[in-house]
Amino acid sequence: MSGRVLVGVKRVIDYAVKIRVKPDNSGIVTDGVKHSMNPFCEIAIEEAVKLKEKKLIKEVVAVSCGPQQSQETIRTALAMGADRGIHVEVTGKDYEALGPLQVSKIMAALAKKEDAQLIILGKQAIDDDCNQTGQMTAALLDWPQGTFASEVALEGDKVKVVREIDGGLETIKINTPAVVTADLRLNTPRYATLPNIMKAKKKKIANMKPADLGVDLTSRLEVLRVDEPPQRQAGVKVETVDDLVAKLREAGTI
């Protein structure tokens, strides 16, 4: 086993920023807005770095697909402990149309190229909430997947994953190579300490284009329109339970 783990890190609008829709409803405002690493990707990196610290794997490679600024996200991953980075350059219209299908094709190609033993991704990105990339990547590679992981344990050539599901927790054992997607409670990501930020400057980030990996970025989706959620309407106060039942019947909900 190569002992190499690929971790996908996505550059998204920072979670504390108030999102604004463009006046022409074609998308959201991203210019000049604070961006940072997707929180679930931080958890993914943390898990990979932890595995390396336990000496269960040998190398953590951080991958990001996007424009020049994605390199900042990779640098943050390096500052958290990743060994090297790969920046797959995607710009302009291609970047706007970049979705789970395209990214999973890229990840699959990289996994083969880098002979990865494990791919760890965040369960979803906080901008599109797709929750698809991990699953698609596993399917393209025909690898097993352990999604919504709240616990990951490497046991020989298998991975034990405790998954958070609606009914509670499900524990599965899958063969490696495998894809794991990180859920919120998997770990608490470390802060990039200042000495590690300095060390990260010396780590390498390789540049490549999707074409170099033989990946076709054509999207099957077209964004028609983006709208803000409807304004919250005022509620109505009722005096008795009977009134409540009557109002619910009126609204057709019961």
Residues within the interface to another protein (CB under 8 A)? 13, 15-19, 21, 28, 31-36, 39-40, 72, 75-76, 79, 126-129, 184, 191-198, 200-201, 221-227, 229
The smaller minimum CB distance to another protein, of residues 4 and 123, is found at 123
The smaller minimum CB distance to another protein, of residues 127 and 151, is found at 127
Q: How many residues does this entry show for the chain?
A: 254
- As beta bridge partners, residue 15 has none
Q: Which of 109, 88, 99, 95 is nearest to 213 (CA)?
A: 109
Please report how close the Cβ of residue 60 comes to another protein at its closest, in angstroms: 18
The smaller minimum CB distance to another protein, of residues 42 and 141, is found at 42
The smaller minimum CB distance to another protein, of residues 75 and 163, is found at 75
Please report how close the Cβ of residue 211 comes to another protein at its closest, in angstroms: 25
Phi, then psi, of 174 in degrees rounded to 5: -125, 155
Please report how close the Cβ of residue 134 comes to another protein at its closest, in angstroms: 16
End-to-end, the C-alpha distance of the chain in Å comes to: 58
What 3-state DSSP class applies to 173?
strand
Residue 91: alpha-carbon gap to chain centroid = 19
Hunting for tokens 């998954």 — which residue is that? 163
Please report how close the Cβ of residue 192 comes to another protein at its closest, in angstroms: 5
